Amino acid sequence: QVQLVESGGGLVKPGGSLRLSCAASGFTFSDYYMSWIRQAPGKGLEWVSYISSSGSTIYYADSVKGRFTISRDNAKNSLYLQMNSLRAEDTAVYYCARGVYSYGIDYWGQGTLVTVSS
Amino acid sequence: DIVMTQTPLSSPVTLGQPASISCRSSQSLVHSDGNTYLSWLQQRPGQPPRLLIYKISNRFSGVPDRFSGSGAGTDFTLKISRVEAEDVGVYYCMQATQFPFTFGPGTKVDIK
């Protein structure tokens, strides 16, 4: 069955960096696009970034552009999010999500909490 | 960016009764490929979101048939024919037609 397991979250000071990982299993990772989506405590969902199946096409939300970098390693069935210059407003649960070109995002991971605080 | 709005934002429902949630987009969600990438997600308390409906009206694998989606262009509806206790949670519409992907604010469904 499809599994997406995020890791790498934690407490970091403003201005600090963190790298999130998402381990995928149960499907052919290289056939799907992937996204990171976040949810601040008690708030709604915010799309963060997209990477195509090959990694050749990448998009970011304006709120993270220039600070976050998405990447993937299809040989390792893994998705990453490098987060730099973190701000308090980046505090959220970060979800890794799988996307199908023919209909959109279908599976979500359990999420990893990132807390940016001094 | 495409703005997604939902009404109502809160929906207390009696068990066994129907519920309906509306979602409106600020511009047409019809993609250049002819598809409309409008999805409905359910988020139960303490859980990640789960896909219910994709491309307006297609139920995802394992989703009960009491959930249905309809609409076109900029106006969409999610209906639950008979609400069960396990349906409590927040429901989001989401568009994946255009970047950035965007979500509605969510509709909280709970039991009266």
Put simply, the answer to whether B100 touches A95 (Cβ < 8 Å) is no
Classify residue A62 as left (phi > 0), alpha (psi -120 to 50) or beta: alpha
H-type alpha helices, chain B: none
pLDDT digits (tens, 9 = 90+) for A85-109: 999 999 999 999 999 998 899 999 9
Give the one of B35, B37, B100 whose C-beta lies nearest to A61's C-beta: B100
* Structure confidence at residue A5 as a pLDDT band (50, 70, 90): very high
Q: What is the pLDDT of residue A103?
A: 87
pLDDT digits (tens, 9 = 90+) for B11-22: 999 999 999 999
**Which residues does chain B have within 8 Å of residue A110's beta carbon, measured at their own beta carbons?**
48
- Ranges under pLDDT 70 in chain B: none
> What residue of B is the nearest CA neighbor of A110?
B48
A113 touching B, CB under 8 A?
A: no
Q: Is the dihedral of CA B17, B22, A48, B99 positive or negative?
A: positive
Give the one of A37, A102, A105 whose C-beta lies nearest to B39's C-beta: A105
B38 three-class SS: strand
